[in-house]
Amino acid sequence: MSLTRRSLLSLMGASGVAGLAACANLPERYGEEQEPAVEETEVEEEPKEPEIDLDEFADLALDMQAWNYDEANDCYYQLGLPYCLTPGSEQYESLSIFVPGAYLKGTKHGRTWECEVDPDATVGGFTPATAPVALPINSPSCSAQECPTSYSYEGLGRYLSAGIVYVYAGFRGRSGGYESTTQEYFAGGAPWLVSDLKAVVRFLRYNASVLPCDTTRVFSFGYGGGAAAAAMAGVSGASELYLPYLQELGAATHDAEGADLSDDLYGLGLWCPMGAFSSSDAAYEWMMGQYSSEGTRADGIWTQQLSRDLADAYASYVNGLGMTDADGNLLQLDRIDDGTFTGGSYYDYLVGLVSEAAGDFLGRTDFPYAAVPIDRAVRNFPGDPMLAASPQAPEAEGEEQTSTGVRQIQATVYDTVESYVSTLNADGRWLTYNASRGETDVTGLWDFVLACRKPSRDVCAYDLIDRSGLANQLFGTDEKPSLHFDGMVAQLVEANHERYAADEGWNEELVAEWRGDLAETDTLELTVADRVAMSDPIAMLVGGGDEDAQKLVVAPHWRINTGLMQAETTFANEVNLALLLSAHEGVSDVAFTPVWGAGYELAEREGDPEDQLVAWMVSCCPEEPQAEAEPEAETDTEAEAETDDENA
């Protein structure tokens, strides 16, 4: 074993270090006469704080002489800024900044501009001291996102005209890869994506003194897997679990004055967030899988038993979270006569959310109405012109994609609200709507799921049995790029393998595979189980992801939208996230909106998704409170009147 000087001193401890010091002070000639020892009283010294190198992160300082300027759109920008000192991937770990032109005063020097902040500027109600920051995540499948290498103003106007500074950062994705220029391998997967995002926030705060924005007001937003990564960053501010990864990156830990830097966020805009990997497979079976008897849930197949066991396990999980509604009522699942956990206050709460969303849709929609099955192609957030013209198609297990990621699907037109409701009730009446009274009622989740949200994923919806899922890659290692990660499934297959063996398709090797995969470690010696806890916002909120959950700084503002007509996400875990955030002491507001008629997309009840996002961001950033006015001095007359009143 090779030891560095630092590790050697650490192993030796205080006595060993003292011994080394004594050896260093021996006389040059061993036999040299020595002065008699003088007895001294030992005085305990207080431990010294380690000295901080104020120049440690100087290479991350923003060059204010390197701005580019788009005069036509009044936008200053810089591209390709490294946000950490020792990036795992130079191809991905850099960022670009786009600033409203009014915030900076620039002088042109050759091809670039030297700028300084104009403190008196105002754009959309913000100043350079109050402007928020937008940090998009264009990664619905947790794939890597590159930093823009060229400039385009397309799509930026809605953010910059509102006074928002826009930061488009690259980051690593769900698996490792190779640099395009050097072909060197770089690590990926959890928790590198979130660690990269934290390094971006720290870079911004390191440069807070020269940036024309309030770097405490960083909003991140995304869709699908990108929303999951943003959510994880939003609940894990100040988490010490990420420190080894941030140190590996060379992320800024203090500013040029020596003050500690944080990586907490101010607000999160999420559409159809995935995540909650500790319970995602169980939540999927409880919400949708247990109502199906097709495919891997058919009679005689061992996974049908696993589906039912996962649904039951989810009930225990939910009942252990201690969630409450807005009135403080405990939300729990109860077992009903058929043996399923489809009763209780939690079940009723979800039915109420679905019913409210249906009522909103039916009351707001103009008929005839064209229902278009949701295409998996989703537009990108602006910032990278290479992506602007090609909407992303989120990758799905077992689904064929066209060359453009777009499928041609014919719409179904409903002439009246009556014909729409009647079609949904074709196999039995479960949805009622009274337009005159504005009343809508959904009888239960079973019929809703069969009519609108049939499971599109097999049993083990995310931790696929053959390890071929995207989430399996997220928790892989350099040596084993795809691993099992679901601890609930691991416990169930180990506890029930003899019962599963009586049905078709069971493989006894699965017990050891799941158990072994959870113990695999990454380059920083964290197990898969540890990394799952660092990738699950619900686990982090309830204390399962951090030894001292009280230290966490959770973002105060949340906006979560999800489409109800899709089966990519669980819905149940999205509800859980919103409930736990609402109960968290540090959270100011949570806007949770299930959207009827929408699928796995940027789901909105009305308006453009990004316009709605910008309006919400602005609403979360009130103007700075004005200083209280000095009380006016009393006049002699007022003072005399008060004296007379007192005498009376």
Q: pLDDT of 197-236, one tens digit each?
A: 999 999 999 999 999 999 999 999 999 999 999 999 999 9
pLDDT digit string, tens, across residues 243-269? 999 999 999 999 999 999 999 999 999
> Does the structure show a pLDDT above 60 at 647?
no
Please give the C-alpha separations between residue 97 and each of 136, 169, 275, 384, 387, in angstroms, as whole numbers: 12, 9, 28, 11, 17
Cβ atoms within 10 Å, residue 642? 11
pLDDT for 398: 39
pLDDT for 595: 97
| Band of residue 278 on the pLDDT scale cut at 50, 70, 90 | very high
| Band of residue 642 on the pLDDT scale cut at 50, 70, 90 | very low
> Does the structure show a pLDDT above 70 at 395?
no
Amino acid type, 643: T
Q: For residues 394 and 383, what is the distance between their CA atoms, to the nearest angstrom?
A: 19
| Band of residue 408 on the pLDDT scale cut at 50, 70, 90 | low
> Does the structure show a pLDDT above 90 at 400?
no
Virtual CA dihedral for 97, 101, 102, 105, nearest 10 degrees? 90
| Band of residue 377 on the pLDDT scale cut at 50, 70, 90 | low
Dihedral of alpha carbons 398, 401, 406, 411, sign: negative
Which class for 290: exposed (0-12), middle (13-18), buried (19 or more C-beta within 10 A)?
buried
| Band of residue 622 on the pLDDT scale cut at 50, 70, 90 | confident
Classify 307 as helix, strand or coil: helix
Helix (H) or strand (E) holding 544: none
| Band of residue 180 on the pLDDT scale cut at 50, 70, 90 | confident
pLDDT for 388: 58
pLDDT for 387: 78
Q: What is the rounded average pLDDT for all residues in the chain?
A: 87
pLDDT for 483: 98
Boundaries of every domain in the chain:
64-275+551-619, 280-395+408-527
pLDDT digit string, tens, across residues 61-76? 999 999 999 999 999 9
pLDDT for 626: 39
| Band of residue 550 on the pLDDT scale cut at 50, 70, 90 | low
pLDDT digit string, tens, across residues 101-140? 999 999 999 999 999 999 999 999 999 999 999 999 999 9
Min mean pLDDT across 15-19, 305-309, 386-390, 635-639 is at 15-19
Dihedral of alpha carbons 546, 549, 551, 555, sign: positive
More confident residue, 544 or 344: 344
Q: Once rounded to an integer, what is the mean pLDDT over residues 560-572?
A: 95
Contacts of residue 308, defined as CB under 8 A and 6 or more positions apart, other chains included, come to: 285, 290
pLDDT for 126: 97
pLDDT digit string, tens, across residues 434-487? 999 989 999 999 999 999 999 999 999 999 999 999 999 999 999 999 999 999
> Does the structure show a pLDDT above 50 at 16?
no
- For 307, list phi and psi in degrees, rounded to 5: -60, -45
pLDDT for 397: 52
pLDDT digit string, tens, across residues 308-353? 999 999 999 999 999 999 999 999 999 999 999 999 999 999 999 9
64-275+551-619 — its CATH code?
3.40.50.1820
More confident residue, 623 or 38: 623
Task: Return the percentage of the chain with pLDDT > 90, whole number.
Answer: 78
Report yes or no: 411 and 370 within 8 Å, Cβ to Cβ.
yes
Top mean-pLDDT range of 288-302, 385-399, 538-552: 288-302
| Half-sphere exposure (Cβ direction) of 511: Cα atoms closer than 13 Å | 13
Please measure the distance between the N-terminal and C-terminal CA atoms of the chain and give it in whole angstroms.
91
